[in-house]
Amino acid sequence: MQFKLYQDVKEFYDDTYSILLKDEAQNMILLGNLMIGYEGKDKHTWRDPVNWIMGCVSSDQGILLTALMTPPFNITLYATDNQINDEALACLVEGLIANEIPVPGVTSDKVLAKSFAKCYIRAMNMIAEVNYNQRIYELTEVNPEVEQIGKLRLAEASDLSFFPYWTEGLSQDALGGAGIVQNDSENYLYQINTGDLYILEHDKMPVSMAKISRRIDKACGIGYVYTPPYFRKKGYASSCVAQLSQLALEEYGFEKCVLYTDLTNPTSNAIYQKIGYRPVCDSLEIKFEVIEK
């Protein structure tokens, strides 16, 4: 087994991209981030690959394990063809420790995340805690029976009047954030100006939002779905996601849309399945903590 740590994102892309594409929906985060680094057009906050940790573990059979970490976020992993090799995992952990690379946690398919966490915390004398149980879904056709409410449009600068409040509301709901709007209009405006954020309006009133989060060869990610509490249970989120998914398939030409859901939220999982999303696999986000003496 051999661990290789990359300094050049384009070399890492050349070695791993085709492997990751074998399970495109499952590797949406890995592939999307790799595309960002390879294109090098967007270096806002964590997107600059100069700070990334890129590595793989190989044998005489080729690459067995691919790893990418975009600090401050978790390491993301893929075992080639989903064949988990314990020796490859041990080699990866040894390589990370030898290069003094701290890992805050892991985000990956459920089995691989658990396997890596077990190996890493044993070597580092740490403890692991599951942050999120997620399910990855993909859609190739929108259910035509989903009620179309309102009209979808691209976000624009004038949406700064409400977008920061929606963003922090989403953070509070999904990540347990404080829900406090930051004094950082530049960052909020950056998110609006990506050209990926869409607002659903009903009777000329903004009621929900979603965005195309990543664009790969044949698939795109759908995320950042949020409806303010006072607009919920009216079908807005369903319509917003359905319309954006249809837009991605028809106008952008993607063959599938991919999204992640929180398995502790049965309502959102049911909504997405009614739209036409089908389960691909389960994913875990696990954080690591030092054992207090």
Distance CA 164, CA 178 (A): 13
Confidence of residue 217 (pLDDT cuts 50, 70, 90): confident
Q: Are residues 116 and 173 in the same domain?
A: no
* Position 131 in a domain: no
Q: What is the pLDDT of residue 184?
A: 77
Taking residues 262-268, report their average pLDDT.
89
If asked whether residues 155 and 277 sit together in one domain, one would say yes
| Domain assignment of residue 34, yes or no | yes
**Structural domain tally of the chain?**
2
271 in the same domain as 158: yes
- Note whether residue 169 is domain-resident: yes
Number of residues that make up the chain? 293
178-197 confidence digits (pLDDT tens): 667 777 788 899 999 989 99
Share of the chain above pLDDT 70, in %: 98
pLDDT band at 289 (very low <50, low <70, confident <90, very high): very high
User: What's the rounded mean pLDDT across residues 137-162?
Assistant: 95
277 shares a domain with 162 = yes
Q: Kindly state whether residues 202 and 267 are assigned to the same domain.
A: yes
Find the mean pLDDT for residues 74-97: 97
Confidence of residue 206 (pLDDT cuts 50, 70, 90): very high
% of residues, the chain, pLDDT over 90? 86
Q: Rounded to the nearest 5 degrees, what angle is found at the Cα of 170, between the Cα atoms of 166 and 171?
A: 120
Domain that residue 79 falls in: 2-124
Q: Label residue 177 by pLDDT band (50, 70, 90).
A: low
Is the pLDDT assigned to residue 122 strictly greater than 90?
Answer: yes
Q: Are 221 and 259 in contact (CB under 8 A)?
A: yes
CATH number for the domain including 266?
A: 3.40.630.30
Q: Which burial class, exposed, middle or buried, applies to 231 when counting CB atoms under 10 A from its CB (0-12, 13-18, 19+)?
A: middle
Q: Give residue 180's pLDDT.
A: 75
- How much is the average pLDDT of 214-239? 94
265 and 160 housed in the same domain: yes
Residue 217 shares a structural domain with residue 252: yes
pLDDT at residue number 42: 87
Q: How far is CA 285 from CA 62, 89, 223, in A?
A: 27, 17, 17
DSSP H or E stretch at residue 136: strand 126-139
User: For residue 17, what pLDDT is reported?
Assistant: 96
Omega of the bond leading into 144 within 30 degrees of 0 (cis)? no
Pair 117, 213 in one domain: no
* CB of 170 closer than 8 Å to CB of 226: yes
pLDDT (0 to 100) of residue 293: 61
Binned at pLDDT 50, 70 and 90, residue 41 comes out as confident
212 and 106 in a common domain: no
**In the predicted model, what is the mean pLDDT of the chain?**
94
CATH of the domain at 110: 3.40.630
**Does residue 292 fall inside a structural domain?**
no
pLDDT at res. 178: 64
- Tell me the pLDDT band of 174, cut-offs 50, 70 and 90: confident
